[in-house]
Amino acid sequence: MTTKETDTHAAQTKYTIEWAPFTLATGVDETTLLAASDAIQREFVSQQRGFIRRELLKGQANQWVDLVYWDSLSAAEEASHNAMNSPVCHIYFALMVGDDADLAAAVSHFEQVQIYM
């Protein structure tokens, strides 16, 4: 397969993107967040049906985003539901401002419409 053919094939695969913005709770440092992020990735996210990849993004002024790629909206919604019963997820969420309900309300799912390479 040529590079152009590979790019075209990749552009045809469309995912559901989960956008989960948050801020760290008072007194939580980046080292603690990264350790908890590694744990949730290893023990929960990577085990979920339809998981493709995850990125942790850091902005300015204590802004963070968990960006997760799923193979379908149903997989993303199932993982969100499963997170409510996961001890490792509760530990991770406890590092963020708000309670579990507030954090869940901030999560958005987007369907890719067009991909440009």
* Start-end of H helices in the chain: 3-12, 30-43, 73-83, 87-93, 100-106
pLDDT tens-digit readout, 23-43: 999 999 999 999 999 999 999
What structural domains does the chain harbor?
Answer: 16-110 (3.30.70.100)
pLDDT of residue 104: 76
- pLDDT recorded at residue 102: 77
Residue 4 confidence (pLDDT)? 59
Name the 3-class secondary structure at 46: helix
pTM: 0.85
Q: 56-110, pLDDT tens digit by residue?
A: 999 999 999 999 999 999 999 999 999 999 999 999 999 999 776 677 788 999 9
Half-sphere exposure of 68 (CA within 13 A, CB side): 26
Instruction: Identify the CA nearest to 52 among candidates 36, 33, 67.
Output: 67
Round to whole Å and give the CA distance between 77 and 59. 26
